[in-house]
Structure 1
Amino acid sequence: MAASMDAGSPAVSTTTALVVAALAVLLLGAPTASAARAFFVFGDSLVDNGNNNYLMTTARADAPPYGIDYPTHLPTGRFSNGLNIPDIISEYLGSEPALPYLSPNLRGENLLVGANFASAGVGILNDTGVQFVNIIRIAQQLQNFQAYQQKLAAYVGEDAARQRVSQALVLITLGGNDFVNNYYLVPFSARSQQFEIHDYVPYIISEYKKILARLYELGARRVVVTGTGMIGCVPAELAMHSLDGSCAPDLTRAADLFNPQLEQMLTELNSELGHDDVFLAANTNRASFDFMFNPQQYGFVTAKIACCGQGPYNGIGLCTPASNVCANRDVYAYWDAFHPTERANRIIVGNFMHGSTDHISPMNLSTVLAMDNRN
């Protein structure tokens, strides 16, 4: 019979130490167990939260009064007076905003939160935004997503990294710049000479489908794809094209062509993948329409004049320290010539979370998150 061991023996002490060490590893070395769902963001200035701050480009929001209502009251690279759409979605997920991919702080436990790959000025097409020179085009954003996954795998292991990505929520916002900063940027642009608008839209939709298919190949399984807002009605376009406050007809037509074709493409892509809810179509145009024609219903005094800017509708040039700045950002739908205020962003995200299929289809985000939590 083996001799019994008393509590003070070296063997018991060693065993106790090993148990304590194992518990420490479980508690400290398994970060995926307690971390909120990861969140990844791709796209343009509507969702960029600071990547362009690290680039030599004119497409930046790194000076006051940007960030005037952000918690730090400092500019962060977000094209907003405060929080942008990804920030507000992160609140619903119960997590901190994902850091910009180019941030040196995107390492260690911060990798678990996700990453924001977006870059102001980009579009679906590689030639969109060439005037901004050094921006992260969408193909490079996807390559950065691959590199991120390698960093995550080095931190938590390949299986855990793969699971983290597959269970993540993804947001992608592209398309507006392909019209505003490409096709209609100048009269007789190269793209407008190459395509009539009714041919250009199916072309960029087909290119977008390739981008989304690649995103799926890289592991994304829950992807919110936003359409364009009412790009013909933003303060910049009103300032350039409107004498009476009516929306610019060419850009309005472009959005009216693009959004239904985008939704149809997402339905087809889901069908090809054999899952009807990988890609969710978020109708930001519907929210923009509501703001534009019923601003008082949402507590806005105007949806035509930007809070920050100069010239007609405050839509000329950039938002700078020399610009006019409204005293109460909560009663303006637009912060600058192109981008919504934080309060407008909150209404848009609220539609994503709780809206009907008029706002997001085939189901809203609250339904998706509840369904995924059950599985």
Structure 2
Amino acid sequence: MSIPASYAILAAVSLAVIIMAKAVPPVKGDRTFFVFGDSLVDTGNNNYLATVARADSPPYGIDFPTHRPTGRFSNGYTISDIISEKLGAELTLPYLSPELKGKKLLVGANFASAGIGILDDTGIQFVNIIRIHKQFKLFEEYQRRVSALIGEEKTQKLVNKALVLITLGGNDFVNNYFLTPITARSLQFNLQDFSTYLISEYKSILLSLYQLGLRQILVTGIGPLGCAPAMLATRSINGQCAEDPQLAMTIFNPLLNQMIKDLNHELGSVVFIAINSLQMQSDVIYNPSAHGFITSKVACCGQGPYNGLGLCTAASNICPNRDLYVFWDPFHPTERANRIIVEAMFNGSENYMSPMNLSTLLMAMDSIA
């Protein structure tokens, strides 16, 4: 495919911005970083499980520093990796990795597992995945391991001062409510009531994080699911973002933002930061050329319409330049799209991060360190 000169220029400018951002000195202060959630942030836990929800074969990882698959559902870095990079820290290892031991435990850990959701019945087709409450059990085990290393008091301080990212909810729609034309959940709930139910369950999950001693928690909303290549291939009319999944996001995300605001009020402090993933990703998806992308409809790796059908494998269509595509596979962003998202997390206005962006949060953490 030939690339118009205007796109090439925009891509070059955007790439220069990314390189300049990388050159900025890392944020001061050592930070422990914990990650919970699904495939958007799983860095390889599912590699150690008997499940089909895994990304441990080529071409996944094609742009990772090793150019090998790592279990990340990306051509390169995930948003959690990029946050670690901007913190000037080592990448958090998957909790199930045998390399996570000794002093590496003090960097933090990634407990995320592809396929999971807010609800325990989400992703049942993947069988053996680490559901969110199991992730919390593993975190308790992590604390015991660290206590054996540095003592209980220091472990508690480490946990209290840690930065946390949790990403949940997308699979509850993709791999549950909308999985087939008719599902048990769609018969049980309309979209409004299902979203309300998810929020009530999510609130208990967030409270569990607080009860585990975590105090600086980034909570992502759900991006424009109806615009993902998989949804365009299976639910779209004339290449437009699929209507019902898009409607679901306009219901779920405001409820999530309000729940987070109420929860902070109940706790008497800003514990949870809401990330407006819908706005961040919509900016890129609806105006890809402004960010140097040539398309937000077609996945880089896949097959069928919009490369949106089936899995990304070595036999799939693979684009030669991942930096020009918003989506890597039928559902997951490319590394470059992830970098744009993280930049908005660090420096975005309240339209993107509420009640404060990540840079402001980190400065507040430093002031009380």
1:109 match: secondary structure: helix
Q: What does the per-residue CA deviation read over 1:9-60, in whole Å, with 9 as the maximum and x for residues that have no partner?
A: xxxxxxxxxxxxxxxxxxxxxxxxx982000000000000000000010100
- Displacement of 1:372 in angstroms is 1.1
1: CA distance, partners of 2:234 / 2:344: 30
Higher relative contact order (CA 8 A, sep 6+): 2
1: CA distance, partners of 2:99 / 2:149: 14
Aligned residue number for residue 179 of structure 1: 173
Aligned residue number for residue 272 of structure 2: 279
- Note the 1:219-238 alignment, pairs <5 A: 219-238=213-232
CA contact (8 A) 1:35 1:113 kept: no
Q: What does the per-residue CA deviation read over 1:220-258, in whole Å, with 9 as the maximum and x for residues that have no partner?
A: 100000000000110000000124110111100111101
Gaps (5+ residues) in structure 1? Answer: 1-33
- Note the 1:97-116 alignment, pairs <5 A: 97-116=91-110
1: CA distance, partners of 2:289 / 2:253: 26
Query: Are residues 1:150 and 2:144 paired?
Result: yes
- Note the 1:1-375 alignment, pairs <5 A: 36-275=30-269, 277-375=270-368
1: CA distance, partners of 2:29 / 2:131: 30
1: CA distance, partners of 2:227 / 2:179: 15
2: CA distance, partners of 1:147 / 1:249: 43
Q: Name the aligned partner's letter for residue 327 of structure 1.
A: P
Q: What does the per-residue CA deviation read over 1:104-154, in whole Å, with 9 as the maximum and x for residues that have no partner?
A: 111100100000000000000000000001000001001111110110111
Please tell me the root mean square deviation across aligned C-alpha atoms, in Å: 1.0
2:215 match: secondary structure: coil
Q: Report the number of matched residues.
A: 341
Higher radius of gyration, 1 or 2: 1
2:274 match: secondary structure: strand
1: CA distance, partners of 2:159 / 2:47: 26
Aligned residue number for residue 28 of structure 1: none
CA contact (8 A) 1:280 1:360 kept: yes
CA contact (8 A) 2:29 2:366 kept: no
Q: Name the aligned partner's letter for residue 191 of structure 2.
A: I
Q: Name the aligned partner's letter for residue 135 of structure 1.
A: I
2:121 match: secondary structure: coil
Q: What does the per-residue CA deviation read over 1:173-204, in whole Å, with 9 as the maximum and x for residues that have no partner?
A: 00000000001101221111111111110001
Q: Name the aligned partner's letter for residue 256 of structure 1.
A: T
Q: What does the per-residue CA deviation read over 1:73-95, in whole Å, with 9 as the maximum and x for residues that have no partner?
A: 00000000000000000011111
1: CA distance, partners of 2:191 / 2:290: 34
Aligned residue number for residue 8 of structure 1: none
TM, length-normalised to structure 2: 0.91
Q: What does the per-residue CA deviation read over 1:154-178, in whole Å, with 9 as the maximum and x for residues that have no partner?
A: 1011011000011000000000000
2: CA distance, partners of 1:116 / 1:35: 20
Give the share of equivalent positions with the same residue, in percent.
Answer: 62
1: CA distance, partners of 2:288 / 2:80: 23
Q: Name the aligned partner's letter for residue 308 of structure 2.
A: G
2:92 match: secondary structure: coil
Structure 1 runs of 4+ off > 4 angstroms?
Answer: none
Aligned residue number for residue 11 of structure 1: none
Q: 1:52 to 1:78 in 2, by over 3 A?
A: same
CA contact (8 A) 1:35 1:112 kept: no
